């Protein structure tokens, strides 16, 4: 069995985190557009998108700690 240095493992995991984040960013952009197209407040979707953008920097030292959040769906105001 080959031992992979921890820094390389961390880089590999961060690559996986970025791939997941990039897919989720595409969906987040769609949710922002959907909310705005319906004239709804897109603040929750924008905050989620900002959180996704910050994930690589936030979890750069511990990519295993990422807990992916469910995206907020556009909702009409009460």
Structural domain spans, the chain:
6-65
State CA 15 to chain mean position distance.
Answer: 13
- Calculate Rg over the CA atoms of the chain: 16
Residue 4 reports pLDDT greater than 80: yes
* pLDDT tens digits, one per residue of 39-52: 999 999 999 999 99
* pLDDT tens digits, one per residue of 11-30: 999 999 999 999 999 999 99
Is residue 19 a contact partner of residue 25, using CB atoms and an 8 Å limit? Answer: no
Which token pair is 29? 């952009």
SS3 of 51, please?
Answer: helix
- pLDDT number for residue 31: 96
SS3 of 42, please?
Answer: coil
Which token pair is 22? 């990039």
């Amino acid at each position: 069995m080959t031992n992979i240095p921890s820094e390389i493992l961390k880089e590999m995991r961060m690559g996986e985190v970025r791939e997941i984040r990039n897919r989720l960013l595409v969906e987040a952009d769609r949710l922002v557009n959907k909310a705005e197209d319906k004239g709804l407040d897109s603040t929750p979707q924008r905050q989620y998108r900002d959180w996704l953008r910050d994930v690589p920097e936030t979890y750069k030292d511990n990519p295993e700690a990422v807990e992916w959040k469910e995206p907020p769906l556009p909702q009409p105001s009460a």
